[in-house]
Structure 1
Amino acid sequence: MGAYDTEIEVLADAERAALVREIDADGAWAADPVWRETFAAVSRHLFVPYYYVPGPRGYERRWRESPDRAARERWVRGAYADVPLATRLRDGELLSSSSQPSLMARMLVALRVRDGDRVLEVGAGTGYNAALLAHRLGDDDLVTTIDLEPEITESARQHLAAAGHHPAVVTGDGARGVPERAPYDRIIATCELPTVPRAWLAQCRPGARVLTPLATGLLALTVHDARHAEGRFLPGAAFFVPLRGGGGPEPGGVPTAGLPGRARRQEPFRFLLALTRSSLDLQEAYALWEREDEPGRGRYGVTVDGERTWAWLDDPEGPYAWPLP
């Protein structure tokens, strides 16, 4: 390692410590402080040797091998910014990213990992989240991560090895899970899905917890058995790259033309539209939202009961329920 490489590592240590302080000040780890030490120990810059940032002429690449010293410093500082980083593009489409660290912290705390848990991560990304899980559990073999793209899984495997971790990295359709590594105590998805894949429940132990992005929210489910699960959304918003493969969502955004401007500006209302897009039209959704005092995400939930899956407001058996795929 050259003299300047040493300087980069010193800078990375300082930037990582600053990021941990920033997340800590927001209270993200209050319910499970062990994650603070985990984020302090795992180096994010090892997982983003290059990434893309928007510029005046499209995306600009920042990378650690730049011949320009100032550019390398910008790369390492950006690696520890509390923002998502675009890591893989194809024809202008975002295929993979490194999620915002504070959101990752919130999700990992909400996953309620315990010592000895077997964890499946759907959406390998850069491998950073799998490294955090492996470090927290102290046993790489307890962690499995899957992604559809061979290029993504290969680079994630290389990044993980560089960080000293060797969990199972699988190439395949995340909606199908990884049955050969089951049963799981926890499943966490880092990509958006339109529903809860039945295959996941069949690969879980009773009492397992599933945390998955759905309709711009984070759904936390308790698995009762291979055919039954139920849970609610966490309060905050979450935006992820859609799952690619058999379980991916339908393309297209949520239209809001014709609605009052106040409703269009309210992000929780757009969540309701996304959750009920196949069941309610715009005016029905707006009437419900007003009638129920503009409910936030925490009032919604999802139930899986055999072949039926539905979203609901306040009560699984209440008057407001909408089928999911």
Structure 2
Amino acid sequence: MDEVIVQRVERLVEYVSGFEDIQGFVAEAVRAVPRHRFIPDVALAAPSDPDHAFVIDRDSDPDTWWETVYSPTPIVTQLDDGDTDIRARVGVYTSSSSAPSTVAHLLQLLNPEPGDQMLEVGTGTGWTAALIAHLVGPHGRVTSIEIDEVVAEQAAKNLVSVGMHAHVVVGDGADGCPQGAPYDRVHVTCGIRTVPYAWVEQCRPGGVIVAPYCPGFGDDHALRLVALPDGTAIGRFPGHASYMMMRSQRPASYSPDDGSGRRYPTRVHPRTIGLAPPGADLAMAAVTGLYAHISREENRFLTYVLDPADPGQWAVAVHERGNPEHTVYQMGERPLWEEVCDAYFQWLGWGEPGRDRFGMTVTPEEQCVWLDTPDQVLNRG
């Protein structure tokens, strides 16, 4: 690499190394595997505010392309499963090179060792697979499964171009890849609401699974599970991680408002639920099984609550600026707003535990979220 590229790489390494939990082995992998070899000539820079997304084009504006590639920014490489041109900027993000800080955080939690047998779920551009291949070394093995054939083909080419050995398989990552089992580590690069048991089954005892747990309620969470000899897995939520959802676990579309809903007042401000801390989000998601998200308008703040099992059941709590009263509009019979409010105040009664006090157990039959110890289960499902 020429001197300018080396300087850009070092800036990214310095940025990643600035996080307290990131150790030297992760930073060294970022240094060894240049990100630019995995970014297409035309892509979409995706800062936290989607309204500020912008196209980067290596040919027409190389300076911006290079600056963005070696910045903290996630870079989207596919919209709407490939049905929308990336230059359109608007659409559902369905493949990307994730934010380097998030990649580093999950690799730190994974903590792979030289010689490990690895399964990666969601190849994307192939950059993370290359980082893992560097970490496990020539005596390790990386199997990366990608559901999109076009994405998988390009990722395989990217990996070959940098001399990193990872076996890219086209398939549904929810099924894992039994041909390469047992695995020492499973690295998941797509959001999940339910942990597929195949991942636990394909881990050797003591194997680690790291995934973005995205229950659809406010904040998302990093999940680190350890496989046990009895075929179960147990772990906790050590921080934040948000990724695009696994295709097979994407939420369903919800029924439009047909005017049949009912409107009523609520004493609870919509932001109390919509802007609750991560520990509360985790608790409310576990206790109720519901989705929730917020929307900000010029003079309104809205918190939506949705039943993932029934598209006809949803509610929206509305705060209008200058109005001391708040209202709820409810579709369907299930009292969604009251359920999430009850769960929030239950969380307060527990002493406002942070997400690090919650954990999960996965068995062949179910996954359970618990508080402090596995015998204090909040849900079964």
TM-score by length of 1: 0.86
**CA contact 1:157–1:169 (8 Å) conserved in 2:** yes
Residues 63 and 159 of structure 1: CA distance in aligned 2, closer, same or farther (over 3 Å): farther
Residues 52 and 251 of structure 1: CA distance in aligned 2, closer, same or farther (over 3 Å): same
The C-alpha deviation readout for 1:29-79, integer Å capped at 9, x for no partner, is 23xx22221111110011112321369998643132x1x3xx111101100
Alpha-carbon separation, structure 2, partners of 1:52 and 1:203: 35
Residues 56 and 228 of structure 1: CA distance in aligned 2, closer, same or farther (over 3 Å): closer
* Candidates 203, 217, 221, aligned match of 1:217: 221
| Higher helix content, 1 or 2 | 1
Alignment of structure 1 residues 277-296 onto 2, 5 Å: 277-278=288-289, 281-296=339-354
Residues 300 and 262 of structure 1: CA distance in aligned 2, closer, same or farther (over 3 Å): same
Residues 125 and 145 of structure 1: CA distance in aligned 2, closer, same or farther (over 3 Å): same
Aligned to 2:177: 178
Alpha-carbon separation, structure 2, partners of 1:160 and 1:100: 19
Aligned to 1:311: 369
SS at match of 1:86: strand
Counterpart AA for 1:322 = N
Counterpart AA for 1:84 = P
The C-alpha deviation readout for 1:112-170, integer Å capped at 9, x for no partner, is 21221101010111100000011111128610111111011011111111111131001
Alpha-carbon separation, structure 1, partners of 2:379 and 2:51: 43
| Deviation, structure 1 residue 313 | 1.4
| Deviation, structure 1 residue 106 | 1.1
Alpha-carbon separation, structure 2, partners of 1:210 and 1:56: 30
Aligned to 1:18: 11
Aligned to 1:53: 45
Q: CA RMSD in A?
A: 2.5
Alpha-carbon separation, structure 1, partners of 2:207 and 2:187: 11
Q: Is residue 2:33 matched to residue 1:76?
A: no
Aligned to 2:241: 238
TM-score by length of 2: 0.74
Aligned to 2:379: 322
Aligned to 2:285: 274
The C-alpha deviation readout for 1:170-192, integer Å capped at 9, x for no partner, is 11000000111111000010111
Alpha-carbon separation, structure 2, partners of 1:275 and 1:209: 23
Alpha-carbon separation, structure 2, partners of 1:227 and 1:12: 46
Counterpart AA for 1:89 = L
Alignment of structure 1 residues 25-40 onto 2, 5 Å: 25-30=18-23, 33-40=24-31
**CA contact 1:201–1:226 (8 Å) conserved in 2:** no
The C-alpha deviation readout for 1:242-263, integer Å capped at 9, x for no partner, is 0013xx143479xxx9543344
Residue ranges of structure 1 left out of the alignment (5+ in a row): 1-5
SS at match of 1:109: helix
Residues 271 and 80 of structure 1: CA distance in aligned 2, closer, same or farther (over 3 Å): farther
After alignment, is 109-118 or 261-270 more displaced?
261-270
Residues 104 and 250 of structure 1: CA distance in aligned 2, closer, same or farther (over 3 Å): same
SS at match of 2:131: helix
Alpha-carbon separation, structure 2, partners of 1:153 and 1:114: 25
* Candidates 269, 293, 300, aligned match of 2:358: 300
Count of matched residue positions in the alignment of Structure 1 and Structure 2: 304
Alignment of structure 1 residues 138-149 onto 2, 5 Å: 138-139=137-138, 142-149=141-148
Counterpart AA for 1:310 = C
| Deviation, structure 1 residue 83 | 2.0
SS at match of 1:82: coil
Aligned to 2:318: none
Counterpart AA for 1:125 = G
SS at match of 1:323: coil
| Deviation, structure 1 residue 271 | 3.5
**CA contact 1:198–1:227 (8 Å) conserved in 2:** no
- Percent identity between the aligned chains? 34
Residue ranges of structure 2 left out of the alignment (5+ in a row): 85-90, 215-219, 255-264, 291-335
Aligned to 2:102: 103
| Deviation, structure 1 residue 27 | 2.4
